[in-house]
Amino acid sequence: MSVEIRDERFRQVVGDDAQLEQLATGFIFTEGAMWNAKAKELVFSDMPGDIVRKWSVAEGVTTFRQPSNKQNGHYFDLEGRLISCAHASSDVTREEHDGSITVLASHYGGKELNSPNDVIVKSDGAIYFSDPTYGRMDGFGLLREQDMDFQGVYRIDPVSGEVSLLASDFGQPNGLTFSLDEKQLFINDTDHGHIRVFDVSDDGSISGGEVWAVPEGSGDGGCDGMKLDSEGYIYCTGPGGIHVYAPDTTALGVIQVPEVTANFTWGDDDLKSLYITASTSLYRTRVNVPGPQYS
């Protein structure tokens, strides 16, 4: 068995098992998985290698962006443009349709951001991103002093482009995802090993922030990548692999992965293939409930 079932609902969401297929290996540390439905290819990062790669059935692994400023998380905006978080340059960028790069955020309050890590886009076009300090550490980024005295989560306004601070009371904010109705924002904290939930106001600001769940279990790994499937079940990396939660906070089970898992996304035509970035490798498995359409 490559799963740990804690609640019978896991079987209907994921399945009775989750056979892992290793698609590629030999990387340093993989991250930032995002499926491009139009191109039928996966975009993913290898931060310490300073490279963003693509994978497809037709071509296997190819180079997409090198050097990449040690980019981590990616997401497609409403126009299908790729939004990326860079550790080494401490910014959030957008690749335009002509291939040019636009910097969307690099500073707040006159100070350089820590190292934007993960990013999502709301249905109104607003961009939300986490800003821990991992990109200021050697290997995962560029070793340098921190300008900020906190680790926060930010919003980029879709009209003005203004960068606003949403919350700053994190150890290391990391993965984030909206509820299906976008009235709640889930943000995990790698340092504290938990998932928090915030209420989202009409103006895009957030409030609350109580602990929603704590991924627990055997094995290495912690809170990092986090996404919601098309029925509202939350997937979050944690000890031993990927932990799956029902909207009522019930821990349904764990998709066990043999390497420390950093991120994942759904792909293929039916969006039922779960692509997993785990340390040195890229894996794929099948699930029952499809993921959302990102591009």
Note the pLDDT tens digit of each residue in 186-200. Answer: 999 999 999 999 999
pLDDT value for 12? 98
Confidence class for position 123, pLDDT limits 50, 70, 90: very high
Give dist(CA 261, CA 72) in Å, integer: 14
The parent domain of residue 24 ranges over 3-286
Q: Above 90 in pLDDT, residue 152?
A: yes
pLDDT value for 231? 98
Handedness of CA 21, 80, 234, 52 (dihedral sign): positive
Does the residue 250 lie in any domain? yes
Give the residue from 40, 13, 34 showing the smallest Cα distance to 177. Answer: 34
pLDDT digits (tens, 9 = 90+) for 48-89: 999 999 999 999 999 999 999 999 999 999 999 999 999 999
Contacts with 34 (C-beta within 8 Å, 6 or more apart), sequence order: 42, 43, 44, 74, 75, 76, 82, 265, 294, 295
pLDDT value for 56? 98
pLDDT value for 294? 87
Does the residue 171 lie in any domain? yes
pLDDT value for 220? 96
- Average pLDDT of the segment spanning 201-207: 97
Q: Above 90 in pLDDT, residue 249?
A: yes
Does the residue 294 lie in any domain? no
Does the residue 295 lie in any domain? no
Q: What percent of the chain has pLDDT over 70?
A: 100
Does the residue 293 lie in any domain? no
Does the residue 292 lie in any domain? no
- Average pLDDT of the segment spanning 261-268: 98
pLDDT digits (tens, 9 = 90+) for 37-53: 999 999 999 999 999 99
| Total domains in the fold of the chain | 1
Does the residue 291 lie in any domain? no
Q: Above 70 in pLDDT, residue 1?
A: no
Is pTM beyond 0.75? Reply is: yes
DSSP letter at 250?
Answer: -
pLDDT value for 24? 98
Rg (Cα) of the chain, in Å, rounded? 17
**Is 262 within 8 Å of 6 (Cβ atoms)?**
no
Q: Above 90 in pLDDT, residue 90?
A: yes
**CATH number, residue 15:** 2.120.10.30
